[in-house]
Amino acid sequence: MSKTSLNNKTCTCRHTARCHAKEAGKLFVWFPVEHTLKKVINSLQQCAVKYELIHDKPMLSLDCKIGQAQEIASRVGQLLTPIELKETQVLFIRGTIQPQLQDFSDIASLQQFIKFTQSDWLLEMLEKEKFTSYFQPIVSMKNTSQIYGYEALLRGIDAQGNLIPPAQIIESATEAGLLPQLDRIARLSSIAQFSRHQVSGKVFINFSPTALYDPVSCLRSTVEAINRAGISYERVVFEVVESDTPQDLEHLKAVLKYYRDAGFAIALDDIGSGYSSLNLLHQLRPDLIKLDMELTRNVHLDPYKAAITEKVLEIAQQLNILTVAEGIECIDELNWLRERGATFAQGYLIAKPSPIPVNETLATSSF
Ligand code: C2E
Ligand code: MG
Ligand code: MG
């Protein structure tokens, strides 16, 4: 599927797979090595599926309906290793024509093809833009009634009107190769809704740098939306998610430079989660860092978390980086972080994410 087609709402090959399961066509499959081809041929022969080998290459094609292509892909997918799934390429062409140059952009990995065909619900959400944003306040540590800003958090809306949490949507979008589309819609939804609520303070917008091919053109729509909403740039903080595993550091630096040059602030999200590296601080030089709730949770009870968090806070203070402690659920966590100089607090203790940004939180004295 061409990556822009969803934005333009045009129908494309893989996209229409959902609508016309009985439509006939041809499935082309390219394998990374002969060995993979042999495994697949064995399986096709066992199921009496007819196929055609192409020019001594590790490649085959077979005539089938789109629905069958999806079934075959799923079955074959179970035989392959994760790397084979990623390296095997697939193209489905409707009708009897041979692939044309313009079909090349529809070639996907077998893994993406399988995930894509299992993502009807996500495609529908993307097409109809069935998303909304919740907002969670980020408050001053010293006085939790002072709201510094709000983090915008994505929520999907399913056909029954139920909310779908972002983790599930993001995981499916990543696997189906739809993260760029999702990330863009999420950014635009955050901006549109934040401006609609007319609250003061900053807006923290999550973004996945791996979802941006080219920072300038991909972010243009975001900047245009911010301009349209009349939000001044110094009120916007972009939170880099997945900062623990940047796939391409130079790319990430270029993206952040673009944001910063335009006047936006940058936060590194989820510091302290997974394998996130403090080395990124000097590489990316953020304005803020957000301490992940993995560190926050019971920081007052766990000497390892306490030692690490203390050091991170100390480094941030030395470098004039503001800190947000995320996921604060109890007063002991809040007090511990406050005593060690964390700048801002975010968490259920203060307020849960809500569709309308709260404009009051409890004062420090209440805790
Ligand atoms: P995150 O950016 O680290 O967001 C904080 C998550 O922690 C949110 O979960 C929030 O609801 C949750 N949280 C806040 N305080 C507490 C607390 O005290 N206790 C607990 N248990 N949880 C708390 P949510 O909304 O489910 O978002 C999960 C993740 O999905 C986010 O983590 C972020 O990585 C991603 N995400 C959310 N919205 C977007 C978006 O618009 N774009 C992108 N790229 N990613 C997003
Ligand atoms: Mg975040
Ligand atoms: Mg976070």
Which pLDDT tens digit goes with each residue over 153-196?
Answer: 999 998 888 999 999 899 888 888 888 889 889 999 999 999 99
User: 347 C-alpha to center of ligand 3: Å?
Assistant: 10
| For ligand 1, mutation pick of 126, 131, 138, 154 (most atoms within 8 Å of CB) | 154
The answer to whether residues 207 and 238 touch, using CB atoms and an 8 Å cutoff, is yes
Residue 254 CA from chain centroid, whole number = 19
Q: Please return the burial class of 320, using the count of CB atoms within 10 Å of its CB with bins 0-12, 13-18 and 19+.
A: exposed
CATH 3.20.20.450 residue ranges of the chain are: 123-366
| For ligand 1, mutation pick of 241, 242, 276 (most atoms within 8 Å of CB) | 241
Amino acid making up residue 132: T
Q: Report residue 366's pLDDT band, with 50, 70 and 90 as the boundaries.
A: low
Q: Is the pLDDT of residue 140 over 90?
A: yes
pLDDT of res. 336: 98
Q: Is the pLDDT of residue 292 over 80?
A: yes
Q: Which CATH class is domain 123-366?
A: alpha beta
Nearest protein Cα to ligand 1, atom 6: 327
- Across the range 19-47, mean pLDDT stands at 89
Q: Average per-residue pLDDT in the chain?
A: 87
User: 160 C-alpha to center of ligand 2: Å?
Assistant: 27
Position with higher pLDDT, 244 vs 186: 186
Cα distance between residue 282 and residue 190, in whole Å: 29
Q: Is the pLDDT of residue 254 over 90?
A: no
Q: What percent of the chain has pLDDT over 70?
A: 89
CATH 3.30.70 residue ranges of the chain are: 3-118
Cα distances (angstroms) measured from residue 356 to each of 137, 205, 224: 11, 16, 23
Nearest protein Cα to ligand 1, atom 11: 353
Is it true that domain 3-118 has CATH number 3.30.70?
Answer: yes
